[in-house]
A = this chain, B = another copy of it.
Amino acid sequence: MVVGIDVLSRLYRYLTPSEALKILIEGLGRREYLIDVRRALGKVLAEDVYSPIDRPWTNLSHVDGFAVHSKDTLGATSTSPIKLRVIEGVDPRNAHEYSLKNGEAVFVETGYPIPKGADAVIPVEAVKVVDNYILVYSSVKPGFNVTPRAGDIGRGKLVARKGTIITPALQKLMIDLGIRNVKVYDNPKVVIIGVGDELVDEVIPPTTSKIPNSSTYMVKGILNYYGANIVKTMILPDDPERLVNEIKELANNVDVVITIGGVSMGPRDYTWISLKEKLGVAKCFRGLRIQPGRATSGLRIGNSVVVNMPGLPQSTLASLVFILLPLINYLRGIGPYIKLPYTIAVNRRKIEIKKYPSFHRIRYVTLENKNAEIIAETDSYYVSPIALTDGFTIIPPGKTIVDENEKIKVYHLPPVHEIPHLEILR
């Protein structure tokens, strides 16, 4: 016989993504450390953060204008203004050192504390200055143009919960509250290995003997956005001995080892089977209830996770969405899940699921005129649907028909800077 495959030992026993993730992350540790808040953008909080101060720390003026006692303005009208005496020589930046008396007004600047006793600020453009008096043309209420102490956030109040991603705005808020360091989760260290004798790290037109190792770039680009720390990318030939030795070594030093390719039923598809048998791995799964991507497999080696992604590009991407991104999210202190922005669209062409109806499906979608057109079923070898469509829809297990005119969700996988047909701000 030409081919001698020990089929039984390689057979898929398809699990749902959540069953597979449970095997991979059970008892898996996460690293935490203190970091200067100015370098913490994109990290995930490993502790609840509370405000150490009142913000603002005292009553501030919201405008450039005159701080007054509001009750002094009672009865002021455009025809019968009230006259208040301007106290000269008060530094507008230190006006809080002055105690305002009845009938007085003091010039203050935006964002600076108001004088003691003052409870309102009249904008400079709303008054008329005559000699050392101002004329006020309408009455104001207490608190007018005053930003009150603790109005933004009070001392001891919760700022952000453990598990929150530090966005640029949250980073700013924590700096404004004088929070110097925060405890965050360390980004997971990841190695990506392209597996196959034919792979080369060059940009060349593919041939029978040489294919560029391009999927590594796609996986790296997406994982980077999700906070993975890609410490290395490499190519390994179809050599089970070498593969096992390299991965065993890497698993001691990184959190996640990703292999792409060599997970199918062919005679050279050693990746998963060699690891399982030669390392005697107990925590593992072989096959996922997703399509494309059902050959996705994985193992736990100590405190590291190995995910074996299939090599056909659409399968690789599905594997990334259902297993890798939830796993990375878990390791960096969020998930084990993934949230994606989506567009609601109208399905243009009926989809029928014939094989594997109990699987999750990814189908690529092109959006048009605020409706959606599902493109024809494509070969998972093809890259153009991934690169040239606007996103994908997910057909849940058990659903075998998506009708014409049915509403579907089209998911967009970041990094996405432009999502066609979303609102345009011009």
Contact = CB atoms under 8 A, between A and B. Distances in A.
Interface of A: 1-3, 5, 7, 17-18, 36-38, 41-42, 52-53, 55-57, 60, 62, 64, 86, 88, 92-94, 96, 107, 109-113, 124-125, 129, 132, 147, 151-153, 159-160, 165, 167-173, 175-180, 203-209, 212, 214-215, 217-222, 225-227, 264-268, 311-313, 317, 321-322, 326, 334-342, 344, 379, 381-384, 386-388, 394, 409, 411-412, 414-420, 422-426
B176 A214 contact: yes
Interface centre among A219, A415, A419 (most CB of B within 10 A): A415
A173 B387 contact: yes
B387 A170 contact: yes
How many chain copies does the complex carry?
2
A379 B334 contact: no
Nearest to A222: B168
Given A57-B206, A64-B264, A206-B178, A422 B172 contact: no
Contacts of A212: 175-176, 178
Nearest to A420: B339
A341 B384 contact: no
A169 B386 contact: yes
A203 B179 contact: yes
Contacts of A172: 214-215, 217-218, 313, 383, 386-387
8 contacts: A3-B124, A55-B206, A111-B311, A111-B312, A172-B218, A175-B214, A338-B424, A344-B344
Given A56-B381, A110-B312, A147-B382, 16 more contacts: A3-B124, A42-B415, A57-B207, A64-B267, A96-B208, A147-B381, A167-B221, A167-B416, A168-B218, A169-B387, A178-B212, A179-B203, A339-B418, A339-B420, A340-B423, A341-B412
Nearest to A338: B425
